[in-house]
């Protein structure tokens, strides 16, 4: 198919789009183009241009009917030349393919499985996202071959469900000559390794990544910031948590008084030498739990085992250690104890009766039920209330706030307007009623709206505006909602083109008919565009990178009506109750908090106080322990105050981005300087001192010559000694300088790793360089500049592996010296651990930078002994060696 004169882009390419288009031929070396671009970057427009340039009959697959329609609309609006009809070149039906056929993944699956019935892509989708289909007598593969389909365009391929994957793979295998274009904002970075491999096999290596900071600098996305609002559980929820903790504490006391348990634990094979130290250290926390329990019971155990753990003093017994002990005794390690079946089953029954076992998992510290209670805490409704009214006080009628949540809670519809009804769950309708009541109570003028696939609510005064946005294709019906007067709010239902209702409500939201719109993530979280949104509350409890990224994308689009738009993105976190003086480790704060941390790992954003762009929870610098109720309230106040500084937010984004000539996202590793070995430095210093001594001797010989012939010979010898050693010194001084500080040594290590990667041809692009810098008084960062995204990630992984604590790696680099401290063990990165030759090559490349280290294979008896020594050293020093994060570099 030749699209010349039929499709021509009517606009102007942004710089990053032009960059992608310039490199098309290079990307196609594997017949696959894989572009990762943040929401709002114009992926659809880019995809159409790529199709046009490849001049091929194309099948486009989209995740929903809504997005399918958007592809056709974009071709019509931005590409189709005058005099041509869309229907002549574009089809939305697999049964009637044309030059460009657009369908959903669900349709492809239905066609491949000869499905007949109603297709419904997802929960709470608009009525138009369901279709009646009959593929019972349809041969998709033959139809596509007859239509000469040569190009497959995959839009947001991460959406594929398991059954969709199977159908797509089967389809692709039968049209083996297909080229592929893959466009996504959210590669499944947080998926399993198997899922990632499957994804990459389908889409190919990532050819280009267009990041959010680049889009902000280009003016394609607006400046924005993430904020966090903490809450504590309600009184009823706190009681549930306390009940669990009391049951757990009582169980600990009961078990500590159980003499039979002590008798059984003392039979563990590891206590009498029947299990090797190597196997014991496969799970050091479990071994520690055994010793802590025995110590608490004043029972004897081999002191050697405590030395094995590298622990001088064992902590006191608590529920966390009892949980670890019981998990081993009851499930993971039950063969290591001499115990009759009756006692073990009796103990299991006792724990189950108290709700302290879930799916063969002992839970004395963290119950899945309790964590779910925190995630769905009703206290979050109060957080939403505080945020909404703070944002309204700051923005007034210009506020366009979207609340995205998981459920509608249609059963609550009858309770709306009834002051006696309690708000006992999280969802669209409970949030609407809660905000409506508070709005009335505070005498505010906030206008609220609801937009879901099955429920639409608007303010009564917005009725005429909504009617003006619709045409004869749709008939609207207005009725009362709950007990409210029709003069306050109206429920809207539509017949005909129901998709038009979503578009009409979106339009009047932009026109200020509402300041707050509440909807579900499944309908509004992706594919729905409302660029007016300037505040977003994520009241959804799904932590995946894909969905979180798509939901954030709703708020950070630019809006031509407001060139100075900035957006606030709010995350809700419920904390576990704790005493005001208690400071628990972060992993005990709550699963809700850890969900937030996982989200923040994936997003590049502006630091709260520093003019830097980076990922991770640390950039939200207001968040500081302890996570007590008083400190949580203090952090909330600071978050609300900072969120109101919108003009300052924009200035700081521009100031931060101004320093970057080139947008490059790098994968950094942060390493304490005590782990940056100085072995080679001392070797170089010793060599320098020895060479200096030889130089001195040579000079004595040379200058001490008399007139005797024998002295003349000595003088010549001394002269050449001085000449040689002087040359050695000239080369030794720079080397000593290079290794004289941890920062320079770290860069040298990085150069060794880069050399090894280049020698093995593991990098996709040449001309990479290692960059190092200081991030604190005794911490340094290192990263790879240049190269592909995969190159940067691979280098960062190698650095992380190299500095990783010794655990159970296949190959180690071990100092040949007898007394080995922190510098005694380094790990051969996984990508060099497949073969002995690769490990030796890595050691050879590293030798000029770290000195002579032996390559030790740990899968034999001698190697296991050295591995055990390394594990003991690692346990004795439990500080994290390497911290990884992404930052913007320019």
What's the pLDDT at 125? 44
The string of pLDDT tens digits covering residues 482-500 is: 999 999 999 999 887 767 8
Residue 393 zone, left/alpha/beta (φ > 0; ψ -120 to 50; rest): alpha
What's the pLDDT at 526? 54
What's the pLDDT at 776? 60
Contact 425, 409 (CB under 8 A): yes
Q: Is the pLDDT of residue 9 over 80?
A: yes
The string of pLDDT tens digits covering residues 370-395 is: 888 888 899 999 999 999 999 999 99
Q: 836-850 and 679-703 are packed helices; what angle lies between their axes, rounded to 10 degrees?
A: 50
- Per-residue pLDDT band at 547 (split at 50, 70, 90): low
Contact 428, 455 (CB under 8 A): yes
pLDDT above 70 as % of the chain: 83
Q: Which residue has the higher pLDDT, 72 or 778?
A: 72
- Per-residue pLDDT band at 436 (split at 50, 70, 90): very high
And the tokens for 168?
A: 């797509």
Q: Which residue has the higher pLDDT, 803 or 668?
A: 803
According to CATH, the superfamily of the domain at 15-210 is P-loop containing nucleotide triphosphate hydrolases (3.40.50.300)
What's the pLDDT at 254? 96
Of 210-224, 576-590, 769-783, give the lowest mean pLDDT range.
Answer: 576-590
What's the pLDDT at 720? 54
DSSP string, 769-813: EEEEEESSSSEEEEEEESS-HHHHHHHHHHHHHHHSPPSS-SEEE
At residue 700, the 3 state secondary structure works out as helix
Of 317-321, 390-394, 652-656, 875-879, give the lowest mean pLDDT range.
Answer: 875-879
At residue 54, the 3 state secondary structure works out as helix
What's the pLDDT at 783? 87
Contact 814, 866 (CB under 8 A): yes
Q: Is the pLDDT of residue 659 over 80?
A: no
User: Using CA atoms in the order 543, 544, 546, 551, what is the torsion angle rounded to 10 degrees?
Assistant: -10
What's the pLDDT at 504? 92
What's the pLDDT at 449? 97
Q: Mean of the per-residue pLDDT values for the chain?
A: 84
Q: Which residue has the higher pLDDT, 542 or 260?
A: 260
- Per-residue pLDDT band at 505 (split at 50, 70, 90): very high
Chain CA centroid to CA 68, Å: 28
- How far apart CA 619 and CA 841 sit, in angstroms, is 39
Q: Is the pLDDT of residue 86 over 80?
A: yes
SS3 string, 200-264, reads HHHHCCCCEEECHHHHHHHCCECCEEEEEEEECCCHHHHHHHHHHHHHHHHHHHHHHCCHHHHHH
Name the β-bridge partners of 496. 474
CA-CA-CA-CA torsion sign (105, 109, 114, 115): negative
Q: How many CA atoms lie within 13 A of 466 on its CB side?
A: 28
What's the pLDDT at 689? 54
Q: Which residue has the higher pLDDT, 47 or 772?
A: 47
Q: How many CA atoms lie within 13 A of 745 on its CB side?
A: 23
Other beta carbons within 10 angstroms of residue 357's beta carbon come to 21
DSSP string, 511-548: TTS-SEEEEEHHHHSSS---TT--EEEEE-----HHHH
Cis peptide before 351 (omega within 30 of 0): no
pLDDT above 90 as % of the chain: 51
Average confidence (pLDDT) over 388-405: 95
Q: Which residue has the higher pLDDT, 110 or 1?
A: 110
The string of pLDDT tens digits covering residues 236-294 is: 999 999 999 999 999 999 999 999 999 999 999 999 989 988 788 888 899 999 999 99
The string of pLDDT tens digits covering residues 566-590 is: 999 999 999 988 754 344 444 468 8
- How far apart CA 556 and CA 371 sit, in angstroms, is 31
The string of pLDDT tens digits covering residues 586-598 is: 446 888 888 888 7
Q: pTM of the full predicted structure? A: 0.79
Q: Which residue has the higher pLDDT, 71 or 872?
A: 71
The string of pLDDT tens digits covering residues 688-733 is: 455 555 555 655 655 554 434 445 555 555 555 555 555 544 554 4
At residue 427, the 3 state secondary structure works out as coil
Contact 847, 792 (CB under 8 A): no
- Per-residue pLDDT band at 150 (split at 50, 70, 90): very high
Contact 292, 314 (CB under 8 A): yes
- How far apart CA 299 and CA 850 sit, in angstroms, is 46
Q: Could you tell me how many residues make up the chain?
A: 890
Q: Is the pLDDT of residue 602 over 60?
A: yes
Q: Is the pLDDT of residue 804 over 80?
A: yes
CATH architecture of 226-231+379-600: 3-Layer(aba) Sandwich (3.40)
Q: Is the pLDDT of residue 879 over 60?
A: no
């Amino acid at each position: 198919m030749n699209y010349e004169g039929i499709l021509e882009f009517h606009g102007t390419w942004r710089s990053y789009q032009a960059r992608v288009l310039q490199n098309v031929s290079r990307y196609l070396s594997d017949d696959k183009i894989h572009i990762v671009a943040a929401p709002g970057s114009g992926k659809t427009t880019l995809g159409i241009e790529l199709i046009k340039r490849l001049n091929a009959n194309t099948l486009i697959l989209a995740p929903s009917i809504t997005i399918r329609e958007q592809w056709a609309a974009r071709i019509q609006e931005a590409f189709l030349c005058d005099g041509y009809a869309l229907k002549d070149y574009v089809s939305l039906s697999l049964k009637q393919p044309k030059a460009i056929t657009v369908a959903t993944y669900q349709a492809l699956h239905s066609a491949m499985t000869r499905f007949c019935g109603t297709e419904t892509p997802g929960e709470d989708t608009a009525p138009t996202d369901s279709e009646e289909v009959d593929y019972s007598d349809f041969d998709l593969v033959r139809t596509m071959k007859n239509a000469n389909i040569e190009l497959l365009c995959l839009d947001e391929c991460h959406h594929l469900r398991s059954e969709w994957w199977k159908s797509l793979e089967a389809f692709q295998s039968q049209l083996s000559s297909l080229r592929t274009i893959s466009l996504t904002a959210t590669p499944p970075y947080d998926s399993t390794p198997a899922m990632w491999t499957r994804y990459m096999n389908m889409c190919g290596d990532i050819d280009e990544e267009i990041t959010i900071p680049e889009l902000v600098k280009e003016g394609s996305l607006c400046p924005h910031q993430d904020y966090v609002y903490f809450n504590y559980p309600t009184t009823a929820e706190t009681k549930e948590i306390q009940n669990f903790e009391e049951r757990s504490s009582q169980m600990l006391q009961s078990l500590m008084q159980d003499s039979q348990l002590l008798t059984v634990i003392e039979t563990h094979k590891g206590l009498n030498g029947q299990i090797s130290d190597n196997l014991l250290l496969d799970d050091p926390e479990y071994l520690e739990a055994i010793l802590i329990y025995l110590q608490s019971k004043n029972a004897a155990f081999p002191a050697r085992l405590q030395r094995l753990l590298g622990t001088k003093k064992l902590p006191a017994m608590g529920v966390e250690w009892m949980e670890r002990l019981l998990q081993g005794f009851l499930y993971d390690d039950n063969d290591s104890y001499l115990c009759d079946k009756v006692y073990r089953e009796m103990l299991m029954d006792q724990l189950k009766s108290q709700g302290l076992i879930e799916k063969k998992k002992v839970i004395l510290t963290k119950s899945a039920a309790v964590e779910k209670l925190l995630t769905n805490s009703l206290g979050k409704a109060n957080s939403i209330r505080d945020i909404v009214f703070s944002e309204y006080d700051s923005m007034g009628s210009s506020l366009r706030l979207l609340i995205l949540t998981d459920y509608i809670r249609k059963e609550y519809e009858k309770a709306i307007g009834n002051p006696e009804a309690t708000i006992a769950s999280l969802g669209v309708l409970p949030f609407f009623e809660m905000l409506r009541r508070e709005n009335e109570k505070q005498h505010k003028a906030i206008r609220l709206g609801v937009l879901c696939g099955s429920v639409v609510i608007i303010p009564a005064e917005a009725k005429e505006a909504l009617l003006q946005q619709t045409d004869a294709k749709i008939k609207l019906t207005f009725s009362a909602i709950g007990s409210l007067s029709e003069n306050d709010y109206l429920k809207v239902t539509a017949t005909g083109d129901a998709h038009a209702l979503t578009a009409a409500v979106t339009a009047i939201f932009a026109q200020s008919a509402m300041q707050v719109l509440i909807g579900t993530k499944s309908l509004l979280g992706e594919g729905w565009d409302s660029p007016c949104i300037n505040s977003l509350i994520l009241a959804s409890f799904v932590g995946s990178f894909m969905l979180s990224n798509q939901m954030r994308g709703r708020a950070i689009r630019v809006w031509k009506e407001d060139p100075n738009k900035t957006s606030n993105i709010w995350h809700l976190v419920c904390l576990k109750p704790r005493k005001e003086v208690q400071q628990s480790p972060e992993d005990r704060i709550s699963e809700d908090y850890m969900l937030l941390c996982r989200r923040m790992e994936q997003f590049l954003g502006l630091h709260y106080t520093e003019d830097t762009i980076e990922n991770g929870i640390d950039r939200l610098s207001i968040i500081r322990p302890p996570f007590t109720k008083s400190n949580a309230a203090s952090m909330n106040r600071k978050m609300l105050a900072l969120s109101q500084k919108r003009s300052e937010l924009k200035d700081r984004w521009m100031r931060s981005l101004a320093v970057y000539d080139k947008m490059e996202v790098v994968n950094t590793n942060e390493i304490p300087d005590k782990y940056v070995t100085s072995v080679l430095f001392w070797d170089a210093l010793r060599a320098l001192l020895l060479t200096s001594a030889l130089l001195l001797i040579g000079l004595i010989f040379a200058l001490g010559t008399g007139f005797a012939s024998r002295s003349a010979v000595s003088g010549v010898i001394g002269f050449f000694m001085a000449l040689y050693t002087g040359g050695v010194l000239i080369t030794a001084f720079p080397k000593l300088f290079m290794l004289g500080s941890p920062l320079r040594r770290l860069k040298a290590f990085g150069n060794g790793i880069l050399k090894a990667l280049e020698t093995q041809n593991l990098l996709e692009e040449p001309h990479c360089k290692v960059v190092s810098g200081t991030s604190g008084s005794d911490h340094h960062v290192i990263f790879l500049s240049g190269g592909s995204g995969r190159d940067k990630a691979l280098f960062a992984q190698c650095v992380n592996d190299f500095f990783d604590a010794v655990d159970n790696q296949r190959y180690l680099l071990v100092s040949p010296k007898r007394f080995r401290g922190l510098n005694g063990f380094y790990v051969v990165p996984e990508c060099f651990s497949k073969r002995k030759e690769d490990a030796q090559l890595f050691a050879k490349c590293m030798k000029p930078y770290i000195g002579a280290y032996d390559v030790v294979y740990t899968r034999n008896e001698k190697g296991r002994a050295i591995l055990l020594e390394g594990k003991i050293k690692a346990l004795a020093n439990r500080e994290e060696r390497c911290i990884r994060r992404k930052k913007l570099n320019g």
